[in-house]
Amino acid sequence: MLTKQQIRFCLDEMGNMFPDAHCELNHSNPFELVIAVSLSAQCTDALVNKVTKNLFQKYKTPDDYLAVPLEELQQDIRSIGLYRNKAKNIQKLCRMLIDVYDRQVPRDLDELIKLPGVGRKTANVVRSVAFGIPAIAVDTHVERVSKRLGFCRYKDSVLEVEKTLMKKVPKEEWSRTHHRMIFFGRYHCKAQNPQCGICPFLDLCREGKKRMKKRAAAENGNHHAGAKGLG
Enumerate residues 6+ apart whose C-beta is below 8 A from 93.
34, 38, 62, 115, 116, 117, 118
pLDDT of residue 76: 97
Amino acid letter for position 140: T
Q: What residues are labeled active site?
A: 121, 139
Domain 1-194 grouped into CATH 1.10.340.30:
yes
Q: What's the pTM value of the predicted model, to 2 decimals?
A: 0.86
Residue-wise burial string across 8-42, b where 16 or more C-beta atoms lie within 10 A, e elsewhere: ebbbebbeeebeebebbbebeebbbbbbbbbbbbe
**Do the beta carbons of residue 42 and residue 82 sit within 8 Å?**
yes
When computed from its CA atoms, the radius of gyration of the chain, rounded to whole angstroms, is: 21
Q: Where do the domains of the chain lie?
A: 1-194, 196-230
**Mean of pLDDT values over 138-153:** 94
Report the pLDDT averaged over residues 48-55. 97
Tell me the residue type at 166.
M
Note the pLDDT tens digit of each residue in 59-92. 999 999 999 999 999 999 999 989 999 999 999 9
